[in-house]
Amino acid sequence: MAIRVNRPKRPAGNYQSALVTGATGGIGGAFARALPASTRLLLTGRNPEALAELQQALAVDGRDVEALVADLAVAEDRQRLAERADARSIDLFVNNAGTGRLGAVLDQPPEVEAETMTVNVVAVAELTRALLPGMLARAKHDGRRCGLIIVSSGTAFSPLPYLTTYAASKAFGLFYAEGLAEELSAEPVDVLALCPGPTQTRFGSEAGPVSADRIPGASKPAEVARAALAALGRRRTLATGLVGRLAVEPFLPPRRMVTGGLGRAMRTIDWWSRRR
């Protein structure tokens, strides 16, 4: 079976209509700001004031910027968001919202654990599954490419005690994005697993002493968003920050080879079983 490679056919960032989840936060807000003024935006988060402020800041010169308050831990809100995004014909989906709390698993209230898994795992898979078919159909129809960024984390590459559920949920995002990228390698979509290192946002500030913005050398959200948009279509996984560059990036080419090999093996098994 021929190996088909996912090559970019247009410069990254040249999207017509984008959905950014977690736009009220540091990295999501930076994605919204980094996209060109020609891109229509659907921005979502839970905080109505922060969402309205961002919408107002970006909706200049008649730019179409819609804000939708939604809690991704709530099934009806996820469905409402998917319907709105589909109605707006999005061709870029930045699946960025995320949550997690520092501490031992058994010290966390069960509802906090459930929220981490629902927002970081269920919402990521559910929204991607709901939106990709429409994105692909429109891309094929228009002869363009669409884009999907799943914001995972540098914590996704190894178990992280005291952020156990968060790191495990981020491993899901990483594996899901990389697996999808291989499955869709012949389709007009660029998929990127973004694995930020510590970034200067309020992430973790409710969790206690390890707020990300207090970690020395933490990246600026704008740098992370710009790097991700530049990488989309050129690679499938991006680890940012010093630890990401030193400890993760060297292992990405062999990781990509393994995923590609497994993809080819699975396609061969499928082809073989259909022949029999």
Ligand X SMILES: NC(=O)c1ccc[n+]([C@@H]2O[C@H](COP(=O)([O-])OP(=O)(O)OC[C@H]3O[C@@H](n4cnc5c(N)ncnc54)[C@H](OP(=O)(O)O)[C@@H]3O)[C@@H](O)[C@H]2O)c1
State yes or no: residue 73 binds ligand X (CB under 6 A). yes
DSSP conformational letter for 103: S
- CA gyration radius, the chain: 18
Query: Among residues 13, 25, 147, 244, which is the contact residue for ligand X, using CB under 6 A?
Result: 25
CB count, 10 Å around CB of 256?
Answer: 16
- Please tell me the distance from the alpha carbon of residue 230 to that of residue 6, in angstroms, as a whole number: 15
Q: Residue written as tokens 């459930």?
A: 114
- Map the footprint of ligand X across residues 129-158, applying CB under 6 A: 151, 153-154
- Please tell me the distance from the alpha carbon of residue 239 to that of residue 232, in angstroms, as a whole number: 13
Least distance from C-beta 203 to ligand X, angstroms? 3
State yes or no: residue 13 binds ligand X (CB under 6 A). no
Q: Where are the strands (E) in 133-254, listed by range?
A: 146-151, 189-195, 237-239
- Map the footprint of ligand X across residues 195-214, applying CB under 6 A: 196, 198-199, 201-203, 212
Least distance from C-beta 48 to ligand X, angstroms? 8
State yes or no: residue 22 binds ligand X (CB under 6 A). yes
Query: Among residues 13, 15, 20, 24, which is the contact residue for ligand X, using CB under 6 A?
Result: 24
State yes or no: residue 28 binds ligand X (CB under 6 A). yes
Q: Residue written as tokens 């996209």?
A: 35
State yes or no: residue 121 binds ligand X (CB under 6 A). no
Q: Is the C-alpha dihedral spanning 53, 57, 59, 60 positive or negative?
A: positive
Cα distances (angstroms) measured from residue 206 to each of 100, 101, 276: 9, 8, 57
Least distance from C-beta 260 to ligand X, angstroms? 25
- Please tell me the distance from the alpha carbon of residue 260 to that of residue 246, in angstroms, as a whole number: 23
Query: Among residues 18, 20, 27, 32, which is the contact residue for ligand X, using CB under 6 A?
Result: 27
Q: Which residue, 41 or 119, is less far from ligand X as judged by CB?
A: 119
CB count, 10 Å around CB of 181?
Answer: 24
- Please tell me the distance from the alpha carbon of residue 84 to that of residue 33, in angstroms, as a whole number: 21
Stretch that binds ligand X, among 58-66, 69-77, 105-113, 257-265 (CB under 6 A): 69-77
CB count, 10 Å around CB of 21?
Answer: 29
Least distance from C-beta 156 to ligand X, angstroms? 9
State yes or no: residue 113 binds ligand X (CB under 6 A). no
Least distance from C-beta 82 to ligand X, angstroms? 13
The answer to whether 241 and 213 are in contact (CB under 8 A) is no
Least distance from C-beta 210 to ligand X, angstroms? 10
By CB under 6 A, the count of residues binding ligand X is 28
| Residue 166 is among the residues annotated as catalytic for this protein | yes
Q: Residue written as tokens 């308050």?
A: 69
Residues in touch with ligand X (CB under 6 A): 22, 24-28, 45-47, 50, 71-73, 96-99, 119, 151, 153-154, 196, 198-199, 201-203, 212
Catalytically active residues, by annotation: 166
